A and B are shown apart, each in its own frame.
Chain A
């Protein structure tokens, strides 16, 4: 190979590498969240032209355009809740700014946004799990007592105290990330994850018996043997003198 041919080849390879490197160096990073109203992930890149108008109109500089290797294709809008969470503006300026519909203008109530959902991942580090009353994630939640509630449980370690477990309800959580931002730990114990990662998906063929029974108003299977339900606060079934229990039909 002559010198000119080698130089041409080297320059070509360099140019190609520089162009492709950003596309190839994609690192999976679950914390890169999409703006409010972003259409589903598998259609988003067919709609977003990466113009950055949403980020420009974000008054809190929450939204950024992904640099190379940020876990999202370069130039697309995202935010990192631990750095700057979404302040859930009532007029949703980012959605209004979008010229393509990649952010759906059908979203007019920010409380209906689903940027992701918070998940309390740090069961071994969360101060409330350890028995303290930190409650910070619960207190900062814009939908306090709806998206995050404190659920009282028995403290198994001490045997005599209660723990108050911050519990996220995905039907209310917008994924704004204020809880993740506010968590007092070195690394947040509560994180906003994309919905697809955070909530499982039940097979479409599953039926919840108790729901079906409630909807039908009766048991769906006739003549089923109905054993007594021994509820914690129900009185114990009455013993019959000859052995066995009252109202028990084998």
Chain B
């Protein structure tokens, strides 16, 4: 058991710098996820309304409309003339994630994320392999399918199966039926990720994530492997990353003249790579800080030589 535990990402960092240093972004995300949920729950539980509605569409403090842009797009494709507040809400969400990183939604807001993380954690503990070799581009196929289906059927098609809004609605509107619906949706994603493919739903299939990824394809807030020269190839970041294909170009791009900023639209800014890295290679940055740094010491050359 101890040998297995030692292989888990972040153990080395936790041993050196303490548990908190190896989990601070994870904690921040869990607090954010709980916080966003709490904004919707103060009303029904305490009678003090902050956010009303669900992640599909909401009204915060009676003034701020927010609407899921993928749903608005599907509605427009059915030929429906969207009301103004729905369009304004979608524009605000689009603008926010175009700056913050589209898939920041996935890691910091979406209620499915803790379920998917639980499945990934359990997989790591059980030593399960990757599972079914799903292609990560399947999510774009599902997104295209949802949009075509909306236009063809005249309904917002993805809402018939969307686990994101089903879970959130179940949690927010509450009651036994709500809890039951939320539980079965969460269980479905858990079973799929656990039994079929590692990071199966969020990392391969979810078209909502794909859509947010496209929104934030040119987003400003990014994670950068600024200190990549210090990397000792322990692979912890690859092991913990839900979208591991995004790391290598930035982390190992120095010799190819590629900058250290992770520019892939798939990166969800979850910050777990920052957490687990014992050499503190990663940190939050912006896409504008992506210069292949000439100050970086060349491969193999000891730093002390440059300093002297």
Among A20, A56, A67, A105, point to the contact of B83 (Cβ < 8 A). A105
Contact of A132 with B by CB under 8 A:
no
Q: Which chain A residues border B71 with CB–CB below 8 Å?
A: 49
Bound-state CA distance A12–B40 (Å) is 32
**Across the interface, do B195 and A7 meet the contact criterion of CB distance under 8 Å?**
yes
Query: Which residues of A have CB within 8 Å of B74?
Result: 46
Judged by a CB distance under 8 angstroms, whether B131 is at the interface is: yes
Q: Does A48 contact B (CB under 8 A)?
A: yes
* Shortest Cβ distance from A57 into B: residue: B52
B159 x A75 contact (CB < 8 A) = yes
Tell me if B191 counts as interface (CB < 8 A to partner A).
Answer: yes
Cβ contact within 8 Å between A99 and B165 = no
Identify the closest chain B residue to A68 (Cβ). B181
Question: Given A18-B187, A19-B188, A52-B173, A100–B150 Cβ distance below 8 Å?
Answer: no
Residue in A14, A46, A102 whose CB lies within 8 Å of B188: A14
Q: Is the interface of B mostly helix, strand, loop or mixed?
A: helix
Residues 63-81 (chain A) with a chain B CB within 8 angstroms? 65, 67-68, 73-75
- Whether B181 contacts A99 by the Cβ 8 Å rule is no
Q: Which of A15, A22, A46 has a CB less than 8 Å from the CB of B191?
A: A15
Is the CB–CB distance between B161 and A19 below 8 Å? Answer: yes
Are B195 and A101 in touch, CB under 8 angstroms? no
- The verdict on B113 contacting chain A, using a C-beta distance below 8 Å, is no
Q: Which residue of A has the minimal Cβ distance to B76?
A: A46
Give the distance in Å from the alpha carbon of A56 to the alpha carbon of B49 in the complex: 10
Our pick among B56, B79, B160, B188 for the contact of A51 (Cβ within 8 Å) is B56
> For A52, what are the chain B residues with a Cβ–Cβ distance below 8 Å?
53-54, 169, 172-173
**With A46-B150, A52-B169, A75-B169 given, is the CB distance from A12 to B192 under 8 Å?**
yes
A45 within 8 A of B: yes
A199 at interface, CB cutoff 8 A? no
Query: CB-CB < 8 A to B85: which residues of A?
Result: 99
Q: B157 to nearest A CB, angstroms?
A: 9
Q: How far is the CA of A73 from the CA of B194 in the complex (A)?
A: 29
In the docked arrangement, what's the CA distance between A52 and B156, Å? Answer: 15
Pair B53/A22 contact, Cβ less than 8 Å: no
Are the C-beta atoms of B161 and A20 separated by less than 8 Å? yes
- Asked if A101 contacts B166 (CB within 8 A), the reply is no
Please tell me if A23 contacts chain B, counting CB pairs below 8 Å.
yes
- Quick one: CB contact mask for B3-47 with A, threshold 8 Å, 1 for yes? 000000000000000000000000000000000000000010000
Query: Is B101 part of the binding interface, using a Cβ–Cβ cutoff of 8 Å?
Result: no
Residue contact B165 to A53, C-beta cutoff 8 Å: no
Given A11-B196, A46-B75, A46-B156: A53 and B59 interface contact (C-beta under 8 Å): yes
With both chains docked as a complex, state the minimum distance between the C-beta of B189 and any C-beta of chain A, in angstroms: 7
B residues in contact with A18, CB < 8 Å: 184-185, 187-188, 191
Q: Is the pair B75, A47 in contact by a Cβ cutoff of 8 Å?
A: yes
Q: B62 → chain A, closest Cβ, in Å?
A: 11
Name A49's contact: one of B59, B156, B191 (CB within 8 Å). B156
Q: Contact: B53 with A101, CB < 8 Å? A: no
List residues of chain A with CB within 8 A of the CB of B266: none
Chain B positions 108 through 146: 1 when the CB is less than 8 Å from some CB of chain A, otherwise 0: 000000000000000000000001100000000000000
Give A contacts to B, CB under 8 Å. Answer: 7-8, 10-12, 14-16, 18-23, 42-43, 45-53, 55-57, 65, 67-68, 73-75, 97-102, 105
What are 24 pairs between A and B in contact, CB < 8 Å? A8-B195, A12-B132, A14-B191, A14-B195, A15-B188, A15-B189, A15-B191, A21-B184, A47-B75, A47-B78, A49-B57, A50-B56, A50-B169, A51-B53, A51-B57, A51-B58, A52-B172, A55-B173, A68-B177, A99-B67, A99-B89, A100-B72, A100-B82, A101-B82
Interface residues of B (CB under 8 A from A): 43, 52-54, 56-59, 65, 67-68, 71-72, 74-75, 78-83, 85-86, 89, 131-132, 150, 154-156, 159-161, 163, 165-166, 169, 172-173, 177-178, 180-181, 184-185, 187-189, 191-192, 194-196
Counting from the closest, the 8 A-B pairs by CB-CB distance are A11-B195, A46-B78, A51-B57, A18-B188, A101-B83, A15-B192, A45-B155, A67-B177
